């Protein structure tokens, strides 16, 4: 009987964990992955909260830095085929940013994206042969 109760509890826990992801969570993750793959047009505005002035506006197929610190923000944009630009901005108590997605992007809430970059898996190998 105890095994049946434990198995039932384990099943309920697993089902609850699997259904905890909402449609909005899945779509949000897919949009973030699309933006990090330079598929989403964005406008990122860095502004001074005291003077109310824009310091920098970056617009295009841009990815916002995911591993940035609290005091530094990076924005990487695709500007051509295999061409990218990276912008750095120091954040402070009076400098902040706002990122806007310019175009709607169709995302399927039932489709989860996994993007694998071959260059991240296979190391860059230099081959030297004898003559």
pTM assigned to the model? 0.61
Q: How confident is the model at residue 82 (pLDDT cuts 50, 70, 90)?
A: confident
pLDDT score of 115: 58
Q: What element of type H or E holds 64?
A: strand 53-64
Helix (H) or strand (E) holding 57: strand 53-64
> Rounded mean pLDDT of 66-93?
85
Distance CA 11, CA 8 (A): 5
Q: What is the mean pLDDT of the chain?
A: 76
Q: Is the dihedral of CA 80, 84, 85, 89 positive or negative?
A: positive
Residue 130 has pLDDT above 70, yes or no: yes
Residue 47 predicted with pLDDT over 80: yes
Taking residues 95-110, report their average pLDDT: 76
pLDDT band at 131, cuts 50/70/90?
A: low
pLDDT higher at 23 or 53: 53
The number of beta carbons lying within 10 Å of the beta carbon of residue 13 is: 10
| pLDDT at residue number 110 | 65
């Amino acid at each position: 009987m105890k095994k049946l109760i434990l198995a039932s509890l384990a099943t309920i826990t697993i089902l609850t964990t699997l259904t905890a992801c909402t449609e909005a969570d899945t779509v949000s993750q897919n949009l973030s992955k699309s933006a990090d793959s330079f598929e989403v047009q964005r406008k990122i505005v860095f502004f001074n909260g005291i003077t109310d002035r824009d310091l920098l506006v970056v617009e295009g197929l841009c990815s916002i830095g995911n591993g940035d610190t609290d005091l530094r923000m990076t924005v990487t944009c695709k500007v051509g085929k295999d061409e990218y630009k990276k912008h750095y901005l120091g954040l402070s108590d009076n400098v902040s940013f706002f990122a806007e997605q310019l175009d709607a992007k169709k995302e399927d809430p039932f489709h989860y994206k996994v993007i694998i970059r071959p260059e991240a898996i296979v190391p860059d190998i230099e081959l030297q042969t004898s003559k």
